[in-house]
A and B are shown apart, each in its own frame.
Chain A
Amino acid sequence: MAPAIETRDLTLHYGKIRALDAVTLEIPERRVTAFIGPSGCGKSTLLRCFNRMNDLIDGVRVSGSCRVSGEDILGSGLDVIALRKRVGMVFQKSNPFPRSIHGNIAYALGLHGIRERAAVDGAVERSLRSAALWDEVKDRLHESAMRLSGGQQQRLCIARAIAIQPRILLMDEPASALDPVATARIEELILELRREYTLVIVTHNMQQATRISDFTAFFYLGKLIEHGPSARVFTCPDRKETEDYVTGRFG
């Protein structure tokens, strides 16, 4: 099976600072891949390469190659809109729009031409069910999303991202701002979503990475240090830096 995402010698500079240094990595389809490493190691930057969110920052230069489903996504001719439809993203800080719960998802659908009422309502229900939020909000779909709890807001953001049926879902520390109960629900959800989507998750939480991920990539100072099945990376890492980090000796 072809990898969902494949990078080769991917190097990224913010001005003069090298944030990613020749990263070569394959991310398999329908698996959960966790990115771990100390703050500033480039894991979020790499995640943001996959849907070209780094485009928004001035002075970013990228070299090497990055392919999503076999297609090169670094070229200037790339249809970024089409890429972002295929590669969804969930952020660290939940960011629902100040609209209704229904309106949040309808906005995402509308961007991709789905405006017919029955189709929108169906997709709203489907995505809320997939995000394990439907039962909690089905009676108040037209209330403001801002009234939901933090964990519910984050699940709404996940529902919004999957409403447009991406192939890949990028998650940048999706549970780091949530309490343990809400975190557990997000983790359950991630294991559920794994059946349909390729997930890439940045996390600072080692236990979380071992619980939910199939593969783990450890980054340090912009370099990919080690990448492999999570069980192996956490129990018998090849590299000294990885061992020090996962056992909590630094970072």
Chain B
Amino acid sequence: MTGGSDPGVRGRDVASLAGVALTGFATALLLVLLVAILGVVAVQGLPALSWRFITTIPRRDFFDAESAAVLPMIIGTTVRVLLMTVFVMPVGVITAVYLSEYARAGSRYTQAVRAAVANLAGVPSIVFGLFGLGFFINFAGRGLDRWTGAPGPVWGQPSVLWASLTLAVMTLPVVIVATEESLRSIPAGLREASLALGATKLQTLTGIVLPNARPGILTGGILAISRAAGEVAPILFTGAAYYLARLPGRLTDQFMDLGYHSYVLATQSPNVGQTRPILFATVLVLLGLTFSLNALAIIVRARMRRSLRAAS
């Protein structure tokens, strides 16, 4: 090393070494934690994981290794996540389009909406669960029941529909922020080119801006799915069931859920030791499902990017 004897230079070397060590340590810590979490789950859960475990409907005593199974939970979680995506994407994208394309940038109204979106993102998920119970089930659901003159509660009870809608409200900020970001990243030159050809603002939006923003919008969808797949609190009162003998067949049916089921296994088991491998196997399946849903969306996004580059 040159100039090693100069105290100033030596001080700089020590400082830069410390910087490398500190950032490296933080990164290593993260990796260790990730490996530790996945390792514990895998080691404890793999013994209980079997083809039968993920492809059969459990009997009531799902704490027992013989009868434990998670097929209804896999279906329930998948359905509620996909339904949520169907609800959240249009509303989130349209809101973001309004905010970034139509609303006056500095206006008080726009600022208020932006603040509301930011605050919505900071609300604890259990509050969304209570909101879903109060608004969707007690207000909207019971209102529908009264209006249709149903003899008993049809809409006014927990269901996969209300759980998905509750999750959609929770993930709305994620989609809005990601969409706005991707709309902003469209080069001004592309909009100008379209407008200079005599396109209206709406034609430019639907013909040029949105098609090019699709990968970014999909990133919002991926983040929303990641956030929603593992959430339990919002569906606790709005749709998740402790046990159902049948698979859900209608929007108004309740459903079993991997996350909620993990909670049940962890807290309600009469025999903790025997249930532990089942619990970890369930968590393993939840991780796998979340990962698969994400992977699916990432593959779709990659194909979109390719088709944008090699547009035909």
Contact = CB atoms under 8 A, between A and B. Distances in A.
A97 interface: yes
A37 interface: no
Interface string B265-290: 00000000000000000000000000
B36 interface: no
A95 B187 contact: yes
Interface stretch (A7-15, A80-88, A121-129, A196-204): A80-88
A164 B198 contact: yes
Contacts of A245: none
B192 A91 contact: yes
Interface residues of B, number: 22
Contact of B311 (A88, A100, A108, A112): A100
A96 B308 CA distance: 12
B223 to A, nearest CB: 24
Contacts, number: 71
Please tell me the size bucket of the interface on A.
20 to 34
B189 A93 contact: yes
A56 interface: yes
B311 A103 contact: yes
Q: Secondary structure of the B side of the interface?
A: helix
B266 to A, nearest CB: 49
Interface string B182-225: 00000101101111111110010001100110000000000000
Contacts of B192: 53, 56, 91, 95
Interface string A103-128: 10001100110000000000000000
Nearest to B104: A58
A157 interface: yes
Contacts of A88: 196-197
Contact of A85 (B198, B200, B310, B312): B198
A144 B309 contact: yes
Identify which of A82, A89, A111 gathers the most chain B CB atoms within 10 Å of its CB.
A111
Given A100-B312, A144-B310, A95 B190 contact: yes
A33 B211 CA distance: 37
Interface in A140-156: 142-147
Given A98-B308, A143-B310, A56 B197 contact: no
A51 interface: yes
A99 B198 contact: no
Contacts of A100: 311-312
Contacts of B203: 111
Interface of B: 187, 189-190, 192-200, 203, 207-208, 211-212, 308-312
10 contacts: A53-B196, A56-B192, A88-B196, A89-B196, A91-B196, A93-B189, A95-B192, A95-B193, A107-B207, A164-B198
Given A95-B192, A146-B309, 6 more contacts: A53-B195, A84-B196, A84-B198, A107-B208, A157-B193, A160-B197
